[in-house]
Structure 1
């Protein structure tokens, strides 16, 4: 079974989105202007270079994650900063959902059924690290079920005010172990955490 690595962008006040219209907590909105400095870009690319597969939530795929990065890869075909975009297209992708999608997604495997069991099957489907991208609800469910082997938080130097968070009350008694924390020139703090031992998947 592979390791599941959940990577999330987070505000300095602990949110992964903002309900405040004027908030500019996230340095990069995934658009064409990428304000990250070379050190932050390099670390992001390292994550994809070492991965063996990608786990996605159904809403993430339905909302155009794969199409967006496919276009980005085509726009930057030989740019090492955007190597991750091409890598997204190359890696096996697994979508976990409780129901079959209405349309097929090229290059993806869809696993349905019980959430925890479906994620374990996804982890069994690759030999190596499986990196996960999804919304707050998806990340919360993975953490609550003890399915996360490593949590990577890119803490942006902005304040969300209030918005979605990924840590539920069920985790209030847990303590995470800090594996690494690296500051970057653009102000993002890249942190890597090991979830509480009792919650790690086996």
Structure 2
């Protein structure tokens, strides 16, 4: 049976972004300068090794997610640290949407309209295997609330956001995940893996 893994960067105080100006809770904001240590880069690349597809929110694609990683793949064509950016381009992408928006003009990208549980199941079937979701926050929160994430991978940055968006909330108060493993990386990020 296909599984869905959700992967997110998070602050020590549990936010996935900051609404405060000039905060620096996040070591890497997905730009070209990548301060993650070699051990964390290898672990992050491993997220896509066995994936058959990527699940994305419509806002993420609207904000340039696919174009950004396409450019990063072109800029680092032979660098093993950036293998994940090439995998993002190569794997089928599934964009969940309730807006009925037409197809995106990106290769291997399909828009799935409808209820979230149905679109996740469609994506799994079309991918023919496991999916990885990198967000955004609204989609991840909904996946957790509807109990659709089989695995939660959190990359906790060594900083406080102070205020912002959380993927958690009171509707998850009675949910439990089982800790599978954790690792403290040389750059200061802690990776944790939780299973439903």
User: Which interval holds the TM-score relative to the shorter structure?
Assistant: over 0.9
Q: Map 1:52-131; keep pairs closer than 5 Å.
A: 52-102=52-102, 104-106=104-106, 107-131=108-132
Q: Does 2:26 correspond to 1:26?
A: yes
TM-score (norm 1): 0.93
Cα distance in 1 for partners of 2:90, 2:60 equals 18
Aligned length: 195
Q: Quote the residue 1:199 is aligned against.
A: none
Q: Single out whichever of 123-132 and 75-84 deviates more from structure 2.
A: 123-132
Q: Single out whichever of 3-12 and 46-55 deviates more from structure 2.
A: 46-55
Cα distance in 1 for partners of 2:49, 2:176 equals 29
RMSD of aligned C-alpha atoms?
1.2
- When residues 113 and 150 of structure 1 are mapped into structure 2, their CA distance, relative to the original with a 3 A threshold, is same
Long gaps (5+) in structure 2? none
Aligned residues of 1:54 and 1:130 also touching (Cα < 8 A):
yes
Aligned residues of 2:103 and 2:111 also touching (Cα < 8 A):
no
Instruction: Classify the secondary structure of the residue corresponding to 1:146.
Output: coil
Q: Single out whichever of 94-103 and 186-195 deviates more from structure 2.
A: 94-103
Shift of 1:103: 5.7
Long gaps (5+) in structure 1? 196-202
